[in-house]
Amino acid sequence: MNGKLAIVLRKEYLERVRTKSFVIGTVLGPILIAAMMFGPAFLADRTEAEHMDVAILDLGSGEAAQRIVDSVQSSETAVGEGFPLSVSVHDAAAGLDSARAFLDARVSADEIGGYLVLSEDFLESGQATYYGERLSGVVGVEVLEGVLDRVVQRERMAELGIGAADLATVLKGADLELRAVGSEEEGNLEGRFLMGISMIMLLYFMMIFYGQFTMNAVIEDKSSRVVEVMLASITPTQLMLGKILGQGLVGITQFAVWVGAGVAFSSFGGSISGIDFELGQVGIDLWIWFGVFFVLGYLVYSSLYAGVGALCSSMQDAQQYQGPITMLIVVPMLLLQVLLRNPDSTMSVALSLFPLFTPMLMFIRVVLGKPETWQLVASVAILVLTVWVLMRGAGKLFRLSILKFGRAPNWKEIVALLGSSE
């Protein structure tokens, strides 16, 4: 590597990793990973479910209400699984309006959580209405609905002469396991897909996050006039390359720490939103291609952000230019549903070979299947060429904007700069 380029790269890297914000952000990453994987289960185990008292108003003979009480008190319900629920029967002899007025008052006084009105033919129709004042006991309501389902289902089974055990056997569905070809490990296809989607999200945020860091670094050097001294001994392209690579190494360092933490935590189990993440289920090919598209995608968008920094002398000036770049990162996220429907269609292939979309869209095709070798080779070649063109363009904009402008140029002037032979 060119000695001067190495100096710029080292400066950008060390200045960033030595800051308190980097250290705090890097340490907070593993803490956040641990909190997402273990926090929900930890809090759920230590949060006592709200006890729910429900009164039952049976407009029929009272048989349905008694069956519900018996079902709740039996060991077959989910009441014993952390959802405390108790039911009681209210006499409806005084009439519906009078009974409801009395129960409304009890609900308002927080004596009961709500009450259930059963239709006269509840065992046949299954029609019931729940009245409550708030939804804090919504889990209990779901449990209550399950109890009602069982009571009605057993009545209908009895009419058809079907035993409960027979129905359970009939209703037991298929058990489909997802396994990769050549593997006997259950769930590795699903795990690969979930991890792939997580990686796509990481690509999305890292390209925006560190691309803007590169832009900020360029603007800071311009505003401090340090750049004029540096350009006396290094070319604008080398300066830009050093800044982009230096910020990229910062991102890779932080990412490596986070991945290491994720691997460590996954060995102890844990899940995010009820989904188990086992990094061992992800094939080595996925990690390799993620690394390739992460690096090249970062270089593409950091070059674009660096070009914005080269044109502007303040963050306020940069606002009008970085918006379109951010949108270019958002668009492939919106196009993911196209590839999820058919990753090998002509449209999917064409979109994944468009250089500004390639990092995310070609990677999701790797996650979903096996793109043809020529497509993978072409995507890498296109990205490398794009990086080279964008870096040279950023360097040119940097040199010419310093010489020609004391302000941010407009779009017409930018086109003129790129088309000039200076």
pLDDT single digits (tens) 370-418: 889 999 999 999 999 998 888 888 877 777 666 555 555 566 666 665 6
How far is the C-alpha of 185 from the C-alpha of 35, rounded, in Å? 28
> Is 164 in the same domain as 232?
no
In sequence order, the 6+-apart residues with CB closer than 8 A to the CB of 193 are 367, 368
- Using the 3D structure, point to which of 139, 171, 203 is the last residue of a domain: 171
How far is the C-alpha of 32 from the C-alpha of 30, rounded, in Å? 5
In Å, how far are 236, 304, 311, 399, 414 from 418, measured between CA atoms?
14, 13, 12, 11, 6
> Is 167 in the same domain as 190?
no
> Is 87 in the same domain as 215?
no
| More confident call, 178 vs 304 | 304
Which value, to the nearest 10 degrees, does the dihedral of the CA atoms of residues 228, 233, 238, 239 take? -30
Query: How would DSSP label each residue in 339-375?
Result: HHH-TTSHHHHHHHTSTTTHHHHHHHHHHHS---HHH
Q: Output the domain CATH number for residue 102.
A: 3.40.190
Contact indicator for 113, 132 with CB cutoff of 8 Å: yes
Q: Which two tokens mark 241?
A: 């390359």
Q: How many CB atoms lie within 10 A of CB 203?
A: 22
- Pairing of the two strands 275-276 and 271-272: antiparallel
> Is 160 in the same domain as 73?
yes
| Helix (H/G/I), strand (E/B), else coil: 287 | helix
How far is the C-alpha of 249 from the C-alpha of 240, rounded, in Å? 14
How far is the C-alpha of 125 from the C-alpha of 257, rounded, in Å? 59
Report if residue 179 sits inside a domain: no
> Is 201 in the same domain as 238?
yes
- Using the 3D structure, point to which of 113, 141, 171 is the last residue of a domain: 171
Strand partners, 87: 54
Q: In terms of DSSP H, where are the helices of 109-187?
A: 122-125, 138-160, 164-171
> Is 262 in the same domain as 408?
yes
In Å, how far are 201, 302, 318 from 222, measured between CA atoms?
32, 17, 13
Contact indicator for 214, 302 with CB cutoff of 8 Å: yes
- Look at the chain and report how many structural domains it folds into: 2
Report if residue 401 sits inside a domain: yes
Say which DSSP state 58 is in: E
148-157, 293-302, 357-366, 402-411: range with lowest mean pLDDT: 402-411
Write out pLDDT tens, residues 209-255: 778 878 877 777 776 666 666 666 777 777 777 777 887 787 778 77
Q: What average pLDDT score do residues 336-348 get?
A: 85
Is residue 257 scored above 60 in pLDDT?
A: yes
How far is the C-alpha of 299 from the C-alpha of 290, rounded, in Å? 14
Report if residue 44 sits inside a domain: no
Q: What average pLDDT score do residues 279-301 get?
A: 80
Report if residue 41 sits inside a domain: no
On average, the pLDDT of the chain sits at 75
What is the structure's pLDDT at 66? 85
Q: Which two tokens mark 68?
A: 């519900």
| pLDDT bracket for residue 267 (50, 70, 90) | low
Report if residue 181 sits inside a domain: no
Q: What average pLDDT score do residues 328-332 get?
A: 87
| pLDDT bracket for residue 353 (50, 70, 90) | very high
| More confident call, 330 vs 90 | 330
Domain, as residue range, for 129: 52-171
- Using the 3D structure, point to which of 142, 171, 200 is the last residue of a domain: 171
pTM: 0.62
> Is 199 in the same domain as 322?
yes
Write out pLDDT tens, residues 300-310: 888 888 888 77
Report if residue 39 sits inside a domain: no
> Is 283 in the same domain as 411?
yes
What is the structure's pLDDT at 2? 64
> Is 194 in the same domain as 263?
yes
- Write b or e for each residue in 292-309: b if 16 or more Cβ atoms lie within 10 A of its Cβ, otherwise e: bbbbbbbbbbbbbbbbbb
| More confident call, 166 vs 306 | 306
Residue for token pair 């904009």: 397
Report if residue 176 sits inside a domain: no
> Is 311 in the same domain as 235?
yes
- Counting residues of the chain whose pLDDT is more than 90, the rounded percentage is 5
Report if residue 45 sits inside a domain: no
Q: Give Cα 398 distance to the centre of its chain.
A: 36
> Is 136 in the same domain as 257?
no
> Is 72 in the same domain as 137?
yes
